[in-house]
Amino acid sequence: MKRKIVVLGGGPCGLSAAWELSKYGHDVTVVEKEPMVGGLCITNEYKGYRFDLGGHRFISRNEELVCDIRKMMGDELLVSKRKSVILLKEKVFHYPLSIKDIVLKMNVWTNLKVLTTYIMAAFLKIVFRKKDISFENWIVNRFGRTLYTLFFGPYTEKLWGISPKRISSDWASQRISLLDLKDVLFRLFRLKKDTPRTFAQTYFYPKKGIGQMFDMMSEEIKKKGGKIVLNAKVSHIRVHDNHIEGIDYLQRGSMKTVNCDFIISTIPLPDLIHAFPRHLAKDVLYHADALKFRAVRFVNILVDLPDISENTWMYVSEGKYIMTRIQEPKRRSIFNAPEGKTSVLLEIPCNEHDEIWNCSEEDLLQRCLRDLNELGIDIQDKIIDYFTTRVTHGYPVYSHDYGIHRLEIFSFLDTYENIVTCGRQGTFRYLFMDTAMEMGIAAARNLMLDNVAGREKVQLMRSGGELIEVSSVTA
Ligand SMILES: Cc1cc2nc3c(=O)[nH]c(=O)nc-3n(C[C@H](O)[C@H](O)[C@H](O)COP(=O)(O)OP(=O)(O)OC[C@H]3O[C@@H](n4cnc5c(N)ncnc54)[C@H](O)[C@@H]3O)c2cc1C
- Ligand 1 is surrounded, with C-beta below 6 A, by 8-14, 31-34, 39-41, 54, 56-57, 233-234, 266-268, 271, 296, 347, 393-394, 423-425, 431-434, 436
What is the pLDDT at residue 171? 73
184 C-alpha vs ligand 1 centroid, how far in Å?
31
What is the pLDDT at residue 451? 47
State the burial class of residue 193 (Cβ atoms within 10 Å of its Cβ: 0-12, 13-18, 19+). exposed
Mean pLDDT, residues 87-98 taken together: 83
Give which of 74, 96, 72 is closest to 83, Cα–Cα. Answer: 96
Per-residue pLDDT at 105 exceeds 80: yes
272 C-alpha vs ligand 1 centroid, how far in Å?
15
Tens digits of residue pLDDT in 327-380: 999 999 999 999 999 999 999 999 999 999 999 999 999 999 999 999 999 999
Tens digits of residue pLDDT in 268-324: 999 999 999 999 999 999 999 999 999 999 999 999 999 999 998 999 999 999 999
Mean pLDDT, residues 425-431 taken together: 93
Confidence band for 450, pLDDT divided at 50, 70 and 90: low
41 C-alpha vs ligand 1 centroid, how far in Å?
6
What is the pLDDT at residue 194? 56
Mutate to test the pocket of ligand 1, among 41, 59, 203, 293 (most ligand atoms within 8 A of CB): 41
69 C-alpha vs ligand 1 centroid, how far in Å?
18
Closest C-alpha residue for ligand 1 atom 12: 432
Beta carbons of 258 and 349 less than 8 angstroms apart = no
What is the pLDDT at residue 140? 85
Tens digits of residue pLDDT in 237-255: 999 999 999 999 999 999 9
What is the pLDDT at residue 386? 98
Give which of 139, 138, 144, 137 is closest to 122, Cα–Cα. Answer: 144
| Cα angle value 44/430/152 (rounded, 5°) | 95
Average pLDDT in the chain? 88
Mutate to test the pocket of ligand 1, among 56, 197, 255 (most ligand atoms within 8 A of CB): 56
String of b and e for 255-291 (b: at least 16 CB within 10 Å)? eeebebbbbbbbbbbbbbbbbbeeeebeebbebbebb
Percent of the chain with pLDDT over 90: 65
More confident residue, 88 or 395: 395
Confidence band for 169, pLDDT divided at 50, 70 and 90: confident
Domains of the chain and any CATH numbers: 4-38+213-291+400-470 (3.50.50.60), 95-199 (no CATH), 293-396 (3.90.660.20)
Confidence band for 125, pLDDT divided at 50, 70 and 90: confident
Write out the chain in H/E/C secondary structure. Answer: CCCEEEEECCCHHHHHHHHHHHHCCCEEEEECCCCCCCHHHCEEEECCEEEECCCCCECCCCHHHHHHHHHHHHHHEEEEECCEEEEECCEEEEECCCHHHHHHHCCHHHHHHHHHHHHHHHHHHHHHCCCCCEHHHHHHHHHCHHHHHHHHHHHHHHHHCCCHHHEEHHHHHHHCCCCCHHHHHHHHCCCCCCCCHHHCCEEEEECCCCHHHHHHHHHHHHHCCCEEECCEEEEEEEEECCEEEEEEEEECCEEEEEECCEEEECCCHHHHHHHCCHHHHCCCHHHHHHCCEEEEEEEEEEECCCCCCCCCEEEECCCCCCCCEEECHHHCCHHHCCCCCEEEEEEEEECCCCHHHHCCHHHHHHHHHHHHHHCCCCCHHHEEEEEEEEEEEEEECCECCHHHHHHHHHHHHCCCCCEEECHHHHHCCCCCHHHHHHHHHHHHHHHCHHHCCCCCCEEEECCCCCEEEECCCCC
Tens digits of residue pLDDT in 4-51: 999 999 999 999 999 999 999 999 999 999 999 999 999 999 999 999
What is the pLDDT at residue 344? 98
Tens digits of residue pLDDT in 178-217: 555 566 555 555 555 555 555 567 999 999 999 999 999 9
Lowest average pLDDT, out of 6-10, 103-107, 414-418, 420-424, goes to: 103-107
Mean pLDDT, residues 140-154 taken together: 86
